[in-house]
Structure 1
């Protein structure tokens, strides 16, 4: 039986896990806290705590896995999975696919120019630089031990429970205006579709940009979500406003457009949600 082990059972991993379990796979993984593990166990998934501070107590699932999904972010000390379980992975002779979820932040600021998977990695933020190092380390492990490592550079993720619609309903929405600053994004279920396509046709060492077809200003997305709900959009906050935190500003540090043609030409993916409007309509229809 095919067995997926997820290091980091978050938003994307959970959606992929439910899809594969419905297809007869065995799925297990990790979460950072006992509370999150309890929720996952209640949903029928075997789960262990793992925050990178120590190794897994039981590595039997990891050693028996045929597929590995890596969504735990790197920390200041490096990639937590590589730090604790590099040898376990290298010694697993069952592995047919490893997917590392990275981010388009590795490209840094291009001044709005388009980047494909061959573009130079010019991140300057701490998050982006750590991602670059993790990508390199995973690909190196793959080459060294002939492991089927794949890298997926994800744009901003949204989906049911995690969208502009949900922010508006919770009262936490903000409409930050920075004219001409476009963000790429991707619906979580399209990420799942890309991962499934890669699992079906592995190319060890492959790297893929994962985003939709229409980058857009975050304020445009928020305005569309408000209109869909019949609400007034939140007050406009100029990017120059002193009320913005450094964390909020950091998300606007880089401006780039991301080329997603490889997931279509090589993996044969057709996006279910090619732009934010289609995605938000589906979320609204699903959640009411």
Structure 2
């Protein structure tokens, strides 16, 4: 007997089930039958414990992806491109393997906009990638749009900025004293908490309009060095030294310098209006204060000598 659609749980495939993907799993537990693609067999037990059925395959090896065809109704694509080239070969391999899918949400990057000189950026702004990383993301977006059109897939593209969380802060950078730009040379940067991004990705699968791009960013409008200062202040660390751009480019890596060469302020009205998102962490400064308070409580809490008690802490 055919099951009633009322009781049908969509089959969801999470591609790239790293930190954000693991934060998605509690949100979809009981709502979907979840599969998680991993290239690391040693992660299978972790994924099973979190409620996902692991699929061992590698986006860099298309011959391993045959099991994906017809596997899922919905796909959450979180995998980054490979680290070289102008095309995202991983996304190309993925869509070639998937076949028809009802819905997909893809987490891209705000880096596709390039340097906007600090201007307010809406989703309608043309992409202008300035480095190979962003070019690969633009390629992935274009490939996915074409594939979705052919297959009738409802595709949502989420452009995410720097992702942070209590365990994803630039504390090591502050410890090393890596310099930041002086105010007159500094750039606007954008943020989203990893938990909020996980919620946005899930809601995009549920409510996203076909072919729609959404800036997945919070309400913070802050320059990069001010963000480092805010982290330092919250955790009672030394603020980073400030240098002119000409001096700074002599002491930081080319990759870090590229992040410090693009300035934009992302508009998130579409996120709130169309996806009806209410962010749990709309402001970085308030979130940092909470992280620091929790960290202080953790340090002050008495520690038990038993392994069981330590795991439950």
Give the drift of 1:205. 0.7
Asked if 1:125 is matched to 2:112, the reply is no
What are the Cα deviations for residues 172-210 of structure 1, in whole angstroms up to 9, with x where unaligned? 563412424110111112212322332232311111011
CA contact (8 A) 1:99 1:149 kept: yes
TM-score, normalised relative to structure 2: 0.80
User: How many residues in Structure 1 have an aligned counterpart in Structure 2?
Assistant: 282
Q: Answer whether contact 1:148 1:205 (CA < 8 A) is retained.
A: yes
Encode CA deviations 1:104-137: one digit per residue, 9 max, x unaligned.
Answer: 1111111111111110111121111111111011
Residue aligning to 2:121: 115
Structure 1 partner of 2:180: 176
Q: Which residue of 2 aligns with 1:46?
A: 53
Look up the match of 1:140.
146
Contact 1:71 1:101 (8 Å CA) reproduced: yes
Distance in 1 separating the partners of 2:115 and 2:136: 16
> How many Å separate the matches in 2 of 1:4 and 1:272?
24
Distance in 2 (alpha carbons) for counterparts of 1:68 and 1:57: 18
Give the match for residue 91 of structure 1: 100
Provide the alpha-carbon RMSD of the alignment: 2.5
Question: Which residue in 2 is equivalent to 1:244?
Answer: 252
| Aligned 1:194-233 pairs, distance under 5 A | 194-233=200-239
Check the 8 A contact 1:117/1:207 in 2, yes or no.
Answer: yes
Question: How far apart are the structure 2 equivalents of 1:152 and 1:271?
Answer: 15
Local SS of the residue matching 2:189: coil
Moved more, 266-275 or 46-55: 46-55
Q: Is the 8 A contact 2:37 2:56 kept in 1?
A: yes
| 1:3 pairs with one of 4, 11, 16 | 11
- Pair member with larger Rg: 2
Whole-angstrom CA distance in 2 between matches of 1:285 and 1:41 = 33
Contact residue 115 and residue 263 of structure 2 kept, 8 A: yes
Cα deviation for residue 149 of structure 1 reads 1.2
TM-score of the two chains, using structure 1 as the length reference: 0.87
Q: Which moved more, 1:49-58 or 1:212-221?
A: 49-58
Deviation at 1:238? 4.9
Residue ranges of structure 1 left out of the alignment (5+ in a row): none
Partner of 1:282: 290
